């Protein structure tokens, strides 16, 4: 047996229904908030992420799946969707064709991380991005959408953390204060942090090394160094969250591990997920579109990890795996032909009908119907054929009755409608 690649998973029947529930709920919500779906390629030029996600991020330094293709081009399997959506926004001048460029996408992302529960090398994101709106009310709306998503999925024990990381105006003063506060303690930090202190001191807040934490906890906070414009913006976002009635706390360490963020950053954490508890994260990136060669347009968005949302779902979901409406059992060659015709009629009527291809004994066919959870079995034998009937067996009560062949499809449809009505009551 050749096993799956480390850090990748098969999503099996039984789990796929939970995925479909998450994806379906997200699509409905995104569209309700005015987002349009976009699909971009999984492979992009490596430089898109080097420039977009940022040279000093862990993603670009350690985690990208990059290779040189047969034409000599440096290609990367996308580690996140934001740079791809920015690229598409610029490449297709979407601001000209869309009233408000609000985009969503979903699909696989790739990061060479150490796999553990909730962290994979191939994982999936639901991602939304809005371009061109500077007003802080869009930050509030995007956070409201993120919050609405976790609520609609019934995920409990969630908390919203927000922060402001400032802008190119106020960032240098903060970085100076950070380096100053670190002082000689920088030598006590891990190798990664010592490197970060040189390249991008803000990244020190991403450090997870336990021994470094007391030093990092003493460092200054970005919110204390915001310029006036950033402070007004942050206050407005907080006021909007109050209007929406969304509880949050300001997390001073929430600088997020990607280089493009300006001003608002946020994450939703699910308490019961363990170490990998961020179900979604996002923020504003006012310089990224221009940095990637586009016009001077701001942007904001978030991405949720589908694996983590699925892990955080309540055990009891209002979704069930597909169950047949009827199982068709046949005895004998002639009956088998009629059974195929009946199967065809049931399926054309939009019903879920299953059959035992190997045509074994009635007992084994009933067993299979039972395993599939079919509420009705339509039995066709020589007697039934002769009388133009089918025998309908109700599995719940083990009772059976003859029904004219031409009424069988309508009966199965009626029973399904009754079951659905009962389920929604
Ligand atoms: P991110 O925080 O790197 O942000 O990822 C967003 C979410 O993807 C995380 O909160 C987590 O749920 C999930 N995730 C990330 N890495 C993994 C992994 N290895 N295994 C499983 N799930 C994972 C971004 O990707 C930004 N592009 C978000 C954004 C959009 N910011 C603005 N717009």
pLDDT digits (tens, 9 = 90+) for 25-72: 999 999 999 999 999 999 999 999 999 999 989 999 999 999 999 999
Q: C-alpha distances in angstroms, 276 versus 38, 106, 159, 204, 371?
A: 28, 20, 14, 19, 37
- Percent of the chain whose predicted confidence (pLDDT) is above 90: 90
Does residue 319 surpass a pLDDT of 80? Answer: no
Tell how far the Cα of 72 is from the centroid of ligand 1, in angstroms.
30
Instruction: Please tell me the pTM assigned to this model.
Output: 0.90
Q: Which residue has the tokens 């209002």?
A: 318
CATH of the domain at 148: 3.30.930.10
Q: Is the CB of 305 under 6 A from ligand 1?
A: yes
Residue nearest atom 21 of ligand 1, based on CA coordinates: 119
pLDDT digits (tens, 9 = 90+) for 195-214: 999 988 999 998 889 999 99
- Residues 95 and 160 placed together within one structural domain of the fold: yes
- Residues 302 and 371 placed together within one structural domain of the fold: no
Residue 3 placed within a domain: no
Residue nearest atom 25 of ligand 1, based on CA coordinates: 80
Residue 425 placed within a domain: no
Query: In total, how many domains does the chain have?
Result: 2
pLDDT band at 318 (very low <50, low <70, confident <90, very high): low
Per-residue pLDDT at 370: 95
Q: Is the CB of 63 under 6 A from ligand 1?
A: no
- Residues 308 and 401 placed together within one structural domain of the fold: no
Residue 120 CA: nearest ligand 1 atom is 20
- Residues 70 and 109 placed together within one structural domain of the fold: yes
By DSSP bridging, strand 353-355 and strand 326-330 are parallel
- Residues 250 and 379 placed together within one structural domain of the fold: no
- Residues 356 and 305 placed together within one structural domain of the fold: no
- Among 281, 287, 288, 302, say which to mutate for ligand 1: greatest number of ligand atoms within 8 Å of CB: 281
Q: Is the CB of 104 under 6 A from ligand 1?
A: no
- Residues 285 and 374 placed together within one structural domain of the fold: no
State which of 254, 287, 312 marks the end of a domain: 312
Does residue 317 surpass a pLDDT of 90? Answer: no
State which of 259, 280, 312 marks the end of a domain: 312
Q: Which residue has the tokens 């015709």?
A: 341
- Show the domain range for 330: 326-414
pLDDT digits (tens, 9 = 90+) for 174-191: 999 999 999 999 999 999
Residue 259 placed within a domain: yes
CATH of the domain at 354: 3.40.50.800
DSSP helix/strand/coil, 27? helix
Interacting residues of 146 by C-beta distance below 8 A, sequence separation 6+: 160, 266, 268, 280, 282, 302, 304
The mean per-residue pLDDT over the stretch 331-350 comes to 94
């Amino acid at each position: 047996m050749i096993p799956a690649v480390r850090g990748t998973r098969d999503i099996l029947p039984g789990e796929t229904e939970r995925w479909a529930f998450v994806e379906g709920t997200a699509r409905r919500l995104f569209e309700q908030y005015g987002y349009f779906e976009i699909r971009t390629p999984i492979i992009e030029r490596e430089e898109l992420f080097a420039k977009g996600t940022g040279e000093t991020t862990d993603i670009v330094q350690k985690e990208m799946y990059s290779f040189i293709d047969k034409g000599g081009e440096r290609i990367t399997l996308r580690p996140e969707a934001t740079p791809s959506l920015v690229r598409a926004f610029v490449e297709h001048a979407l601001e000209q064709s869309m009233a408000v460029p609000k985009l969503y996408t979903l699909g696989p992302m790739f990061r060479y991380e150490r796999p553990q529960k909730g962290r994979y090398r191939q994982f999936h994101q639901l991602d939304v991005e809005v371009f061109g709106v500077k007003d802080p009310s869009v930050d509030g709306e995007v956070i409201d959408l993120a919050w609405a998503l976790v609520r609609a999925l019934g995920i409990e024990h969630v908390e919203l953390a927000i922060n402001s990381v400032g802008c190119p105006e106020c960032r240098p003063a903060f970085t100076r204060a950070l380096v100053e506060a670190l002082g000689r303690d920088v030598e006590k930090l891990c190798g990664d942090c010592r490197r970060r202190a040189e390249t991008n001191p803000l990244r020190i807040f991403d450090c997870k090394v336990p021994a470094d934490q007391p030093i990092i906890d003493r460092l200054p906070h970005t919110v204390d160094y915001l310029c006036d414009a950033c402070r007004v913006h942050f206050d407005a976002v907080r006021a909007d969250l109050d209007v929406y009635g969304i509880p949050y706390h300001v997390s001073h360490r929430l600088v997020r591990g990607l280089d493009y963020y300006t001003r608002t950053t946020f994450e939703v954490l699910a308490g019961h997920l363990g170490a990998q508890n961020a179900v979604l994260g996002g923020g504003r990136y006012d310089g990224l579109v221009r940095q990637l060669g586009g016009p001077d347009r701001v942007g904001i968005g978030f991405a949720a990890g589908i694996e983590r949302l699925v892990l955080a779902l309540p055990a009891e979901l209002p979704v069930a795996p597909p169950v047949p409406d009827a199982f068709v059992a046949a005895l004998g060659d002639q009956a088998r032909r009629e059974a195929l015709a009946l199967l065809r009629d049931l399926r054309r009527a939009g019903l879920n009908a299953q059959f035992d291809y190997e045509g074994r004994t009635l007992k084994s066919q009933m067993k299979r119907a039972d395993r599939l959870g079919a509420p009705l079995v339509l039995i066709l034998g020589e007697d039934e054929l002769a009388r133009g009937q089918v025998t309908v067996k109700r599995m719940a009560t083990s009772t059976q009755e003859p029904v004219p062949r031409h009424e069988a499809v309508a009966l199965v449809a009626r029973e399904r409608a009754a079951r659905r009505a009962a389920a929604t009551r």
